[in-house]
């Protein structure tokens, strides 16, 4: 099992995250790569279970800590997903969020788009790990400015996280 990428901030219980599109330590498919690198910019299908009964909402983040930026690269950030929702379809991260559950909100990714942006590790930067995390939260609504960054979401979610689930697929320049 892959180690929780956020454990250094305090261990929390884990629940189960599965996907029809991605898997731990497995290369991303062409669909989950960025359009600029020959991919489709399609957010992966995600399903989760086993979260605490007191969960009131979820947030989903996808972050590449291996990007050569000093701060990583945020690919997707969604929050205020109702606790009754336990999956997102492939492509839910399309611009505009029409496939997101009612009440959920997306923040802008590193490219400034309120959408999912796929992988695109630059040549010579090695294998990148994509931390796909579902955060089970103890609040039904995070009151964030719509112009907030995914890092601000992560900061706020940290103080409300009951448990988390994660998958960490990989990509290396030239994989597709």
Q: pLDDT digits over 118-130, tens only? A: 999 999 999 999 9
CATH number of the domain residue 126 falls in:
3.90.280.10
Q: What is the pLDDT of residue 20?
A: 98
Place of tokens 């103890």: 138
In a domain, residue 19? The reply is yes
Q: For 99, list phi and psi in degrees, rounded to 5.
A: -95, 5
Q: What is the pLDDT of residue 142?
A: 98
In a domain, residue 2? The reply is no
The parent domain of residue 98 ranges over: 7-172
In a domain, residue 109? The reply is yes
Residue 153 DSSP symbol: H
Count structural domains, the chain.
Answer: 1
Intervals of the chain under pLDDT 70: 1
Tokens of 54: 């007191």
In a domain, residue 1? The reply is no
3-class DSSP assignment, residue 134: strand
Which residues are paired to 73 by β-bridges? Answer: 64
Q: What is the pTM of this model?
A: 0.97
Give the number of C-alpha atoms closer than 13 A to the C-alpha of residue 56, restricted to the C-beta side.
Answer: 9
Which residues are paired to 119 by β-bridges? Answer: 33
Q: What is the pLDDT of residue 22?
A: 98
Edge-to-edge strand list for the sheet holding 87-88: 16-18, 46-49, 87-88
Q: What is the pLDDT of residue 1?
A: 55
In a domain, residue 36? The reply is yes
Tokens of 16: 């189960």
Q: Cα 59 to the chain's mean position, in Å?
A: 8
In a domain, residue 165? The reply is yes
């Amino acid at each position: 099992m892959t180690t929780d990428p956020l454990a250094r901030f305090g261990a929390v219980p884990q629940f189960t995250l599965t996907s029809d599109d991605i898997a731990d330590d497995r290369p991303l498919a062409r669909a989950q790569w960025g359009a600029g690198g020959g991919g489709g910019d399609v957010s992966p299908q995600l399903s989760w279970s086993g979260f605490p009964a007191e969960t009131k909402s979820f947030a989903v983040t996808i972050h590449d800590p291996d990007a050569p930026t000093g701060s990583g690269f945020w690919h997707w950030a969604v929050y205020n997903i109702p606790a009754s929702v336990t999956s997102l379809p492939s492509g839910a991260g399309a611009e505009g969020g029409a496939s997101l559950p009612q009440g959920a909100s997306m923040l802008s990714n590193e490219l400034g788009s309120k959408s999912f942006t796929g992988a695109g590790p630059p040549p010579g930067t090695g294998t990148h790990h994509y931390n796909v995390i579902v955060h089970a939260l103890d609040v039904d609504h995070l009151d964030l400015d719509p112009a907030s960054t995914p890092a601000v979401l992560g900061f706020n979610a940290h103080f409300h996280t009951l448990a988390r689930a994660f998958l960490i697929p990989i990509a290396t320049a030239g994989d597709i």
